[in-house]
């Protein structure tokens, strides 16, 4: 049924008819639905701001959410949003033309955060932290202006795992990007429906659908980023022991405070023996 052209969203027109692609698509949809249900993301009748960067992950997010909506499994309104941050050479027409062609409700916002980042960040330092804060602030504003209850991001399983190890190695804490949180102002949810989806699956899906991928040259042009270092470590572990990433990811869903060392999470001082 899903392969009939009249039955699916335009985002899936021209989808490969191979068994491999059908399994990939089914897996991504299943994992996304699981995360949405497991973390209680659905408020019927609400409106989501789906953030679209033009990367493989955000295209995958946009497509799978529309499939779930088409199936009647996601009773929310979706509006795609791209924040053009004024990066030199950014192909500003690609996403508007794509979204128009796909018939996806959308908003394109231009804010020159690039100049701010270049002005404020000292030479040799990475741009990611300030760039992310400025982007997030604008997305929250847009979500409010559009009447949305949630900002929806395309972070996947590997992003979450990499962030955990970055915090472990460099921040001295056990923390990562949660699938669901409330912003500091307390008026918007932030969702990551692809939390269970592997990066490799996003890449295979977006490439198979021939979506017009836009690279992030601002961050990708810098060598020695902590995230890239962590990714290389995880790639090495995965190569030596296939499936290691998924095992480590499952550990994030199976925390045991009594077997860690944080007295704020477990009352070690109050432990008593049976006499």
Which residues are known binding-site members for [4Fe-4S] cluster?
A: 128, 131, 219
From CA 51, how far away is CA 49, in angstroms rounded? 6
Q: What is the secondary structure of 123-185 as a DSSP string?
A: TTS-SHHHHHHHHHHHHHHHHHHTT-SEEE----HHHHHHHHHHIIIIISS-----SEEE-TT
Q: How far is CA 70 from CA 65, 75, 149, 267, 271, in A?
A: 9, 9, 20, 48, 52
DSSP at 197: S
Which strand (E) or helix (H) includes residue 68? helix 56-70
From CA 157, how far away is CA 195, in angstroms rounded? 5
Residues 6+ apart with CB under 8 A from 274: none
Q: Which residues pair with 110 in a beta bridge?
A: 84
Q: How far is CA 87 from CA 92, 117, 215, in A?
A: 10, 10, 11
Residues 161 and 252: beta-carbon distance below 8 Å = yes
Annotated binding-site residues read: 128, 131, 219
Residues 6+ apart with CB under 8 A from 138: 83, 109, 111, 113
Burial of 25 (0-12, 13-18, 19+ CB in 10 A): buried
From CA 50, how far away is CA 67, in angstroms rounded? 14
């Amino acid at each position: 049924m899903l392969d009939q052209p009249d039955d699916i969203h335009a985002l899936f027109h021209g989808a490969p008819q191979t068994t491999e692609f059908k399994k990939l698509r089914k897996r991504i949809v299943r994992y996304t639905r699981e995360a949405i249900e497991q973390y209680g993301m659905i408020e019927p009748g609400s409106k989501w701001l789906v953030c679209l960067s033009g990367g493989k992950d955000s295209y995958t997010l946009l497509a799978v959410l529309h499939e779930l909506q088409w199936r009647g499994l996601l009773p929310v309104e979706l509006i795609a949003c791209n924040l053009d941050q004024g990066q030199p050479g950014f192909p500003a027409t690609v996403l508007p033309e794509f979204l128009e062609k796909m018939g996806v409700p959308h908003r394109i916002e231009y804010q020159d955060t690039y100049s701010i980042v270049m002005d404020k960040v000292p030479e040799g330092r990475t741009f990611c932290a300030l760039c992310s804060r400025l982007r997030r602030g604008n997305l929250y504003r847009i979500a409010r202006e559009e009447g949305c209850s949630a900002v929806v991001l395309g972070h996947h399983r590997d992003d979450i795992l990499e962030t955990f190890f970055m915090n472990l190695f460099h921040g001295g804490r056990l923390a990562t990007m949660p699938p669901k949180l409330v912003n500091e102002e307390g008026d918007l949810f932030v969702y990551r429906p692809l939390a269970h989806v592997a990066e490799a699956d996003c890449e295979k899906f977006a490439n198979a659908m021939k979506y017009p991928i836009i690279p992030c040259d601002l961050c990708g042009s810098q060598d020695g980023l902590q995230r890239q270092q962590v990714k290389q470590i995880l790639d090495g572990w995965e190569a030596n022991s296939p499936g290691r990433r998924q095992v480590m990811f499952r550990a994030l869903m199976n925390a045991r405070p009594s077997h860690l060392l944080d007295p704020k999470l477990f009352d070690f001082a109050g432990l008593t023996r049976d006499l």
